[in-house]
Every structure is written in structure tokens, then in C-alpha cells.
Amino acid sequence: MAVRVSAELEQFQDRIGHRFAEPELLVRSVTHGSLGTPTRPNNERLEFLGDRVLGLVMAEALFKADRNASEGQLAPRFNALVRREACADVATQIALGEVLKLGRSEMISGGRRKQALLADAMEAVIAAVYLDAGFEVARDMVLRLWGDRVGGVARDARDPKSALQELLQAQGLPPPEYAEIERTGPDHAPVFTVELRTQAGHKLQVKGAGTKRQVEQMAAQRLLEKLEGDDNG
């Protein structure tokens, strides 16, 4: 029996730039385990495959982009491109959460916005395209969706907290301090306000969603950019 594709999934295909010859692959890729049944497969197996396809695409892209980079330089760049945060960011960019098929409990708990769920579904979509049209088509889609992230990954691969600590230590200063000023929002989607302080007199506050560590990284990145801008000026 032919699978009916909803209007929302028709639009989603436009956003990812691929029309499925086998629409059932698309439907399976956006069906979460909370809704899957023996007669309605979920996307867990596709996640497994998509993770490997994404890894090969990025390993090949990085290998070709910088032929002088060592394995030690390529590894953190690779990790930055395939990690959960990157996959969830791309998923948000293409509004993948809007087309996810979720069970009632996941829907109520904000599943369409959960980073882990979005990242897994993004990998499942990659696998679905791979099975539908082959590696080259999947690779082209991934590189198109990841866009400038691939070219700028040498900078993005830095761990901002570690880089800031190293910079301060080079100046004879102790590591920075991070203080949680406020936490708002529901448990499944908290928003943190973090204050970063250094003994050199720097102080800034950053507010963001995700985990507290992610917001601390945002604060460190912001101070790094300020310090590097001052140096270049």
C-alpha cells in the first residue's frame, strides 16, 4: 500500500532538497519510538545508519579540505561537525521538529524541541535519503545543509572554556569562574543565565537554552572573541 505524504512532509522535502522515490522511508525517519508499533516502524534503526553516513561524509570533506592537517587536527573538527549539538542545530534550521511524529507523552514534554530527539531524527533523515537515492545524493544534501559549518570548523572545533583557560594561564592568571545567576523555564527546556568572571577584571553575563555547560561555553566564546578582537585592533 502506498504511503501518503502529508502537506507538511511535502514542504519538508523542499527544505532538504530531496524528493523521495520511497516516501515510506521519509515517514519512518520522522517517526519517534514513542509512536512506533510493530506495524509502524520508528526511526531508531535509521539513526544508527545515518550516524555512519554522516561520519563518512564529514571525514571525507575534512580530508579533502585540508590536505596538510594531521589526524590530531582533523579529529576535533570531525567531532564538532557530527556531535549532537551540530545535528540538532541543522534539524532546527530545517524545522525538522515540526514534522516529527511523536507519542502523546513526548509531545506534551516538548519533544519537538529536545536536542537529543532532534539530533537522532536528523541522522535518521540522512539515512533515509541514503537508502532512497544513494551515497552521493545523501552527501550532497548533508554538505548543503551543514553549509558554512564545514569551512569554519577549524575555529568552531575549539573548546571555548579550555581555550579561554589556556589564554589566561599564559598571562599568569587563574582559570575563570562561572556562576549560575538564574534558571528559568520548564525542566525539559531550561534557560540559564551564567556570569563569567576573571581576575583580570572581565565580567559578562550570558543567557541561553540547553545545558548549563553549553551556556558556559557560550560565555567563554564571547569573551574569547572580545579578547581576540582587542588584540587584532
Question: Is 97 in the same domain as 178?
Answer: no
Question: Is 19 in the same domain as 128?
Answer: yes
Render pLDDT for 2-53 as a digit per residue (tens, 0 to 9): 677 789 999 999 999 999 999 999 999 999 988 867 677 899 999 999 999 9
Query: In terms of Cα–Cα distance, which of 29, 217, 182 is closest to 118?
Result: 29
Question: Is 182 in the same domain as 151?
Answer: no
Question: Is 13 in the same domain as 101?
Answer: yes
Q: Which of 51, 106, 132, 216 is catalytic?
A: 51
Render pLDDT for 56-76 as a digit per residue (tens, 0 to 9): 999 999 999 988 888 888 888
Which DSSP string corresponds to 7-67?
Answer: HHHHHHHHHHT---SSHHHHHHHTB-TTT-BTTB--SHHHHHHHHHHHHHHHHHHHHHH-T
Number of domains within the chain: 2
Angle at 59 between CA 55 and CA 64, to 5 degrees: 155
Helix (H) or strand (E) holding 155: helix 153-156
In CATH, what number is assigned to the domain containing residue 184? 3.30.160.20
Query: In terms of Cα–Cα distance, which of 144, 158, 125, 130 is closest to 31?
Result: 125
In CATH, what number is assigned to the domain containing residue 125? 1.10.1520.10
CA distance 7 to 2: 16
Question: Is 134 in the same domain as 91?
Answer: yes
Domain assignment of residue 76, given as a range: 7-156
- Is 85 tagged catalytic? no
Question: Is 90 in the same domain as 143?
Answer: yes
Question: Is 28 in the same domain as 66?
Answer: yes
Sign (positive or negative) of CA dihedral 4, 8, 12, 15 = positive
| Binding-site annotation: residue ranges for Mg(2+) | 47, 120, 123
Question: Is 142 in the same domain as 194?
Answer: no
Question: Is 79 in the same domain as 94?
Answer: yes
Question: Is 190 in the same domain as 204?
Answer: yes
Render pLDDT for 117-149 as a digit per residue (tens, 0 to 9): 999 999 999 999 999 999 999 999 999 999 999
Question: Is 67 in the same domain as 105?
Answer: yes
Q: Which of 14, 60, 66, 123 is catalytic?
A: 123
Asked whether residue 193 carries a pLDDT value surpassing 90, the answer given is: yes
Residue 218, CA distances (Å) to 120, 147, 224, 225 in order: 23, 21, 10, 11
Domain boundary among 102, 132, 156: 156
Question: Is 190 in the same domain as 226?
Answer: yes
Q: What percent of the chain has pLDDT over 70?
A: 94
- Is 24 tagged catalytic? no
How high is the pLDDT of residue 137? 98
Asked whether residue 150 carries a pLDDT value surpassing 70, the answer given is: yes
Write down the mean pLDDT value for the chain: 90
